[in-house]
Copies of this chain bind each other. A is one copy, B any other.
Amino acid sequence: MTQSQKFAVVLLSGGLDSMVAAAQAREAGYGLFALTVDYNQRHRIELEAAARIATALGAARHVVLPLDLSAFGGSALTADIAVPKGGVAAEGIPITYVPARNTIFLSLALGWAEAAGARDLFIGVNALDYSGYPDCRPEFVEAFEAMAARATKAGVEGDRFVVHTPLMEMTKADIAAEAARLGLDAGMSWSCYDPTTDGRHCGLCDSCRLRAKGFAEAGLADPTVYAARP
C-alpha cells in the first residue's frame, strides 16, 4: 500500500456480486474500506461470508455496522414473511425487496467515504439477471450521485462522489466468469435468502436459482452446497 493509494468504500454483503465488485475495485488500484450492514437479515450467515471475503481481499478496513431494519418491517428478508421458493419469478417487485435498502446502504457508504476522504463507492448491483429491485437500476444510481453532490461538504466544495457499478450490465454467468478470471474462490460467498439450519444454500429461493444458473451458463463448476438441486 503506497501513501498515494486511493481508497474506495465497497458495499460488501457477502454475496457473489459484492465479492466480484470488491475484487474489481482492488484490481483497479483502490485500497478497500469494506462496509457490511448487519440489518437483522434472515440470512445472517452472509455476514460470515463478508468477513472471509474482506480478509481474502486484504481490505484496509472492514466495518460491520449493526442497523436493525426489522424495526420497520415490510420485507421477507427482515420480517416474518416466507421467502418465495416457487421458482417462477412473480410479476413486479418481489416480497424480498427491503424498502430503500440500497439507498440506506449507499448513504452509509457516502458518510464513511466523506469522513475518510474517499470519493469512490462500489456496489455490486446489476440490472440484467437481478431480482427486479428498483434500487438496482442505473437511473437510481444516477439519481443517488446527483443527490450526493448536493448532500455533502465535499460535493459543495466541488468534489464528485462516483458510485461505481461494474456489474450493472453483466449477467450472472458473466459474474461467475469474472469471479474465475479474478482468481476468486466463489465458495467463499453466500447468496441464499433462506439458509438451512446446518448452513447450506436452500437451492430454491430466487437468489439460489440465479446463482446456480450463472455457474451453469458460464460452464463453470458451482462450488455451492445446495440442500435441494435448484
Interface residues of chain A, those whose CB is within 8 Å of chain B, are 63, 65-69, 71-75, 93, 97-104, 107-108, 110-116, 134-135, 137, 139-140, 143-144, 146-153, 155-157
Main secondary structure of the interface of A (DSSP, over half): helix
B111 touches A107 (CB 8 A): no
A111 touches B101 (CB 8 A): yes
Distance A67 CA – B65 CA, assembled complex (angstroms): 8
- Of A69, A107, A149, most buried by chain B (CB within 10 Å of CB) is A107
Chain B residues whose CB sits within 8 angstroms of the CB of A66 once the complex forms: 66, 68
Q: Across the two chains, which residue of chain B brings its CB closest to A111?
A: B100
Q: Across the two chains, which residue of chain B brings its CB closest to A100?
A: B111
Distance A73 CA – B147 CA, assembled complex (angstroms): 22
Distance A113 CA – B72 CA, assembled complex (angstroms): 8
Chain B residues whose CB sits within 8 angstroms of the CB of A110 once the complex forms: 99-100, 103-104
| Among B67, B72, B149, B157, contact of A115 (Cβ-Cβ < 8 Å) | B72
- Of A111, A137, A140, most buried by chain B (CB within 10 Å of CB) is A111
Chain B residues whose CB sits within 8 angstroms of the CB of A72 once the complex forms: 63, 111-112, 115-116
B156 touches A150 (CB 8 A): no
Distance A131 CA – B11 CA, assembled complex (angstroms): 31
| Among B99, B115, B135, B152, contact of A73 (Cβ-Cβ < 8 Å) | B115
Once A97-B153, A111-B72 are accepted as A-B contacts, the answer to whether A103 and B65 lie under 8 Å apart by CB is: no
Chain B residues whose CB sits within 8 angstroms of the CB of A100 once the complex forms: 107-108, 110-111, 114, 148, 151-152
| Among B93, B108, B111, B143, contact of A153 (Cβ-Cβ < 8 Å) | B93
Task: Say how far A16's CB is from chain B's closest CB, in angstroms.
Answer: 23
A143 touches B137 (CB 8 A): no
- A selection of 28 A-B contacts at a CB cut-off of 8 Å is A72-B116, A73-B116, A74-B114, A74-B116, A75-B115, A93-B157, A98-B111, A99-B111, A99-B153, A100-B111, A100-B148, A100-B151, A101-B111, A102-B151, A103-B147, A103-B148, A103-B152, A104-B110, A104-B111, A134-B151, A134-B155, A135-B150, A139-B150, A140-B147, A140-B151, A143-B146, A144-B147, A146-B146
